[in-house]
Amino acid sequence: MTLGRLLLAWLPVAALFVVAPPIGYRWDLFVGKSFFVWMYNQWEIGWRLAEAVVVTLFASLWFDSLGAGAWWLLFFLVGLLVAFPRRLVMWQHVEPLRRRHLLAHACLDLARYIAAGGLLAWRLA
């Protein structure tokens, strides 16, 4: 796999990760108002770009060695690992309204990983 091909695969995933994570990110400040809250800062954007690099390299390993089959299952499982553990720890310490928000945000993170998997399957497979 060439560096150019990896860069072209990373670009749409990076754009997705920069746009998608702010949705509902600051759940603790806006309980009862809305799930969709857009907030940005430089540290968060930099972290999401680095996350997109890691996901792109992971997908490159998958598509270059094992093929394109069941990519959705792979990214679903990785999304579960990313989205739920942190929120499950918080789950036990918050009231029911915040639990619904935590669940919604975890589902949005999971959807973000599945969408990234689809973009990478399109670009790398």
Contacts with 68 (C-beta within 8 Å, 6 or more apart), sequence order: 121, 125
At 83 the three-state DSSP class reads: helix
What crossing angle do the helices spanning 3-19 and 96-124 adopt, rounded to 10°? 160
How would you write the pLDDT of the chain (125 residues) with one tens digit per residue?
588 888 999 999 999 988 876 554 554 555 455 555 556 678 888 888 998 999 999 888 888 877 767 888 888 989 898 888 877 888 888 888 888 888 888 888 899 999 999 999 888 87
Residue 38 has which token pair? 């857009």
**Integer Cα distance of 106 and 83 in angstroms:** 5
pLDDT of 102 = 82
Residues contacting 60, CB < 8 A, separation 6+:
1, 6, 9, 124
